[in-house]
A and B are shown apart, each in its own frame.
Chain A
Amino acid sequence: MVIAYVLLDGFDLGAGIINFFVARNHHERSLILRAIGPVWDGNEVWLLAAGGALFFAFPLLYASSFSGFYLPLMIVLWLLMLRGVGVELRSHVDDPLWWSFFDFLFSFSSLLLAIFFGAAVGNVIRGVPLNSEGFFFEALWTDFRLSPYPGILDWYTVLIGVLALATLTVHGAHYIALKTEGDICNRARRVAALSWWALLLLTVLSLVASLYVRPQALDNFHLRPWGWIIPAVVAASLIAMPFFHTRERDWPAFLSSSAYIVGTLGGAAFSMYPILLPASTDPRYSLTIHNAKTGAYSMSVGLIWWLIGTALAIGYFTFLYRFFSGKVSLDEDGY
């Protein structure tokens, strides 16, 4: 569910980030918004559903992480609001000042959101100062070093934040290239090609940094060798991206950046298993899938309704995406 959110909302966040680089005028910015317009709020609903599923499956993890990450979450909420307002209200008034204001709001909040989401993943990998009851509270930053009592932002989480920014920039550029044509499409491809270098560099850097921060990450790979498939997927998708976008094949390029996202998040989750939220204070305080999960009864009932509900949701989404498929244009009959 979390991965679905990142994939889907990921490209419209990316679209927001590159909005200012790719689209040069009002007409082109309208196009970008039109490419994500019909689907962005549905994508945002995935965030809600993921939050709900987290609360449902691991109440303690939800309670602990949401209150511990209090400040960044509040900021994320405000950014999500600004972004929602920016996307939806831009077209309501015909005035260039109004447009530039909402374009800026849209791009600015998308950019910060990407960094914050990345930093959140960084925090989860690095660990947080959990106490014996499974709660913690983190300031936004302390001294940017990895102490047992770190802030939300330290050098490591900022690095992961920038990695997320690069990832979503590439992903968003692929989506825009896929949904548009002409100048704007070419520019999106160029953005993808350039930011790919940054992505490559950052991937290597953060891989090294992650192994430094969490040396035990490799244990699971020794225990379950099939896990090596995951880094192989990440590497393959990383190579596939420039391969496809230099050949102007936007669909495979978009799929490779999707595979990259699934791979990196999956790899992080795999190396942590069974820990959900590691404690930087005392490893015994870490929240694992065993001590944070909900009661057996509600889990078994939940599996039934959750499968039914998700199947329905995927049904609507497939329908909606097919309905709004194809390149966007501003012509009368174009979508």
Chain B
Amino acid sequence: MDSALSIHRLHFAFTVTYHYIFPQLTMGLAPLIVIFKSIAIRTGDERYNRAARFWAKIFAINFLFGVITGVPMEFQFGTNWARFSQYAGGVIATALAMEGVFAFFLESSFLGLFLFGEKRFGARVHWLAAFMVFVGSWLSGYFIIVTDAWMQHPVGYQIAADGMAHLNSFWSLLFNEWAIWQYIHNMGGALITGSFVVAALGAFYLLSRRQEEYGRMFLSLGVIVAFLASVFQLWPSGDRHGQLVAKYQPITLAAMEGLFHSEEGAPIVLVGQPDTDRQQLDNPIYVPKALSFLTHRRWEAEVKGLNEFPRDRWPDNLPLLYYCYHIMVGLGTIFIAITTSAAFLLWRNRLFSARWMLWILMLSFPFPFIANTAGWITAEVGRQPWIVYGLLRTEQGFSSHVSAGNALFSLIGFMGMYTVLSVLFLLLMWREIMHGPEFLSARQLRPGVGIMPDRTSRREGV
């Protein structure tokens, strides 16, 4: 592999992986904030308002980091992937530009209103602001998925005389079958992250005996949503998304499953290490015939293995693809197990005293982030060696006139920058968690500097 190409790939992979830590949480939290806000209006219980405000602050910090790390993503299409942008810009730039005008303005304006406008506009407008932030963040995700879905499964385009892709059907781009199921699967993942984080913090508050009232509130909502989302993520969303992969990217499916040779009644491998040189799976533990059933709905159906396809069309990092896919599915299964038991305990009214379960919930919050990231790596490494599936290979898409040295310069720069951002992020999150919802009262949320009302200035100012 050309070294400049690898550095450009690593550049994008690193920055996008880091970036997606934040949006998955904001997209997951947004509907939960709307739920807290709705309960507050329905019951008139001020505690739910405080909960909404608390999570809005967590949301706002994550939103800030999402914006800061998101700007480089849009730039990198041009800086590092100029040839791809020239080739595909006639199609995907429509989706990206639509994200800008439709979703970003919506989200950022109403977030400002939500954070600073509660006193002036009252409860109903405040609810509306929360709802619009939710719509904005989910819309934003949709346009990004439309872009990615076109790279996975190009539709609604024609290749013009100059050899570039041009859009010829706006609606088929926007309602690409792939985009719809990928979006549903992705948002299910974001909800799992959001609800696990809410539940984990609830468990932390109960276990550490602080703000226990809110701990119970967070646990109840978090566990219910996490349970629904985890089940939904397996069926229908994961199942349907998987069928699209089987239909349009059979090579990717074979690589994900580590299926080197075509087989009738193909098994699903739970654990095992792929050996690409000898084309076999070492130490496999598997469920017989399951893969055939899942892809074709028949136990004896034949699933095509990698041997049916030319080697130069195989995903170029097969072990990474295989492991990420298995990590995603494995964690998804564990999430179902955890949330089913937690939801059962909640239903029997025993969750709040079941310390073993609280420990599990508290410690499980990093895993949805890992599962979401692994899922994205599965999708994008699975797309290789294409940058636009079947149309443009990755080595034809990067900025070949930007040298490896220059790309490495900025990659190292980003690594340094993101190290600083990580430290700041953890520090801020820790402070907010330690303050908790009780720390907030309505009068502190007023127009101020940035996200958090400036307490010192009030002391000085009055």
A contacts, CB < 8 Å to B = 26-27, 30, 33-34, 37-39, 41-42, 44-45, 47-49, 51-53, 55-56, 59-60, 62-68, 70-71, 73-74, 77-78, 80-81, 84-85, 87-94, 134-137, 294-295, 297-298, 301-302, 305-306, 309-310, 312-313, 316-317, 319-320, 323-324, 329-332, 335
Which residue of A has the minimal Cβ distance to B77? A55
Mark B206-239 against chain A: 1 for CB-CB distance below 8 A, else 0: 0000000000000000000000000000000000
Known pairs A63-B77, A73-B79, A312-B102. 4 more at Cβ < 8 A?
Answer: A39-B112, A71-B410, A313-B101, A317-B105
Report yes or no: A301 in contact with B94, Cβ–Cβ below 8 A: yes
**B93 part of interface (Cβ distance < 8 Å):** yes
CA distance A172 to B412 in the complex (A): 33
A67 CB to nearest B CB, Å: 4
Of B81-89, B281-289, B342-350, the one with at least 4 CB within 8 A of chain A = B81-89
- Chain B: interface size category: 35 or more
CB <8 Å contact, A316 and B105: yes
- Given contact pairs A37-B450, A295-B166, A323 touches B117 in the complex (Cβ within 8 A): yes
Tell me whether B97 and A55 are in contact (CB under 8 A). Answer: yes
Q: Check if B102 sits within 8 Å of A73, measured CB to CB.
A: no
Q: Which listed residue (A38, A94, A309, A329) contacts B101, Cβ 8 A?
A: A309
Q: How far is the CA of A70 from the CA of B401 in the complex (A)?
A: 10
B-chain residues with CB within 8 Å of residue A67 when the two chains form the complex: 78-80, 82, 399, 401-402
Residues on the A chain within 8 Å of B417, using CB? 78, 81
Q: A27-B457, A94-B455 are in contact. Are A66 and B93 (CB under 8 A)?
A: no
Given contacts A298-B90, A310-B101, A330-B457, contact A37 B448 (CB under 8 A): yes
Q: Is the CB of A92 within 8 A of B462?
A: no
Instruction: Give the docked Cα–Cα distance between A47 and B100 (Å).
Output: 9
**Which residue of chain B is the closest to A291 with respect to CB atoms?**
B162
Residues of A within 8 A of B100 (CB): 45, 48-49, 51-53, 309
Main secondary structure of the interface of A (DSSP, over half): helix
Chain A residues closer than 8 Å to B93, beta-carbon distance: 52, 55-56, 59, 62, 294
A sample of 21 inter-chain contacts (CB < 8 A) reads: A34-B457, A48-B71, A49-B105, A51-B74, A52-B74, A56-B94, A59-B89, A59-B93, A65-B78, A66-B77, A67-B402, A71-B410, A78-B413, A81-B68, A81-B421, A91-B457, A294-B93, A309-B102, A309-B105, A312-B105, A313-B105
How close is B74's CB to chain A, nearest CB, in angstroms? 5
B-side interface mostly: helix
Roughly how many angstroms separate A313 CA and B452 CA in the complex, as a whole number?
25
Please give the residue numbers on chain B whose beta carbons come within 8 Å of chain A beta carbons, in ascending order: 64, 67-72, 74-75, 77-80, 82-83, 85-86, 88-91, 93-94, 96-102, 104-106, 108-110, 112-113, 116-117, 120, 160, 164, 166-168, 170, 399, 401-403, 406, 409-410, 413, 417, 421, 424, 428, 431, 447-458, 460-462
With a cutoff of 8 Å between Cβ atoms, the chain A residues found around residue B64 in the complex are 41, 84, 88
B93 CB, nearest partner CB in chain A, Å: 4
A23 vs B447: C-alpha distance when bound (angstroms): 20
A48 touches B74 (CB 8 A): yes
- Determine the distance from Cα of A62 to Cα of B71 in the docked complex, in whole angstroms: 15
Contact A70 B399 (CB under 8 A): yes
Q: A298-B167, A331-B461 are in contact. Are A44 and B447 (CB under 8 A)?
A: no
